[in-house]
Structure 1
């Protein structure tokens, strides 16, 4: 037996990435980034948490489906709807569909979190991004 530890009041619950990153389990997907997108803070092979139930707004990083292929882009709604490539900044004007009627671009989900592997990143001695 003995006395309780004085630090017992400061014990915190263990961190859970599920609790931190997932709001709706049934609508959450994880995917790997196939390339580096420094403007969005995404490294190659980063794990992206994608919420398919979250509404995309102007400036959201989204997974967009174009002709059956999925791409990671930044959504622009103003002044015209478009998808910005995160590697070059090029904005392609598109017709965004809210349903499965075909044609145009569908937003599959919003990227809510990114988990980068900081140990395997390439060394870059240029201090400017």
Structure 2
């Protein structure tokens, strides 16, 4: 738990350093405009600060976020059985637009007599 706190502190320090380097770059650009010099590139100290800050932020962000999931879908699917692969409850539809097409629709009463007509058949 101690390393996570250190990683979070380093992440915050890296973000502050990255913001400081952006402010320094903007300040340098303003200085060049005021002195009427041509802008060619940023000074080396600002570039080094940007690169080091970015590396610190990326590394500590990966450490703070945690474990990544596998990209390949087969890794997650290996643990599931064939019976559960076809079960997609998010696709179950009970109330749908089909009922709005037939204003006189009355659901059939279920009977144990086993009639030959399916509940999905529609009378025209």
Q: Please indicate the TM-score interval, normalised by the length of the shorter structure.
A: under 0.3
Q: TM-score w.r.t. structure 1 length?
A: 0.20
Q: Which has the higher strand share?
A: 1
Work out which of the two has the higher radius of gyration on C-alpha atoms and give 1 or 2. 2
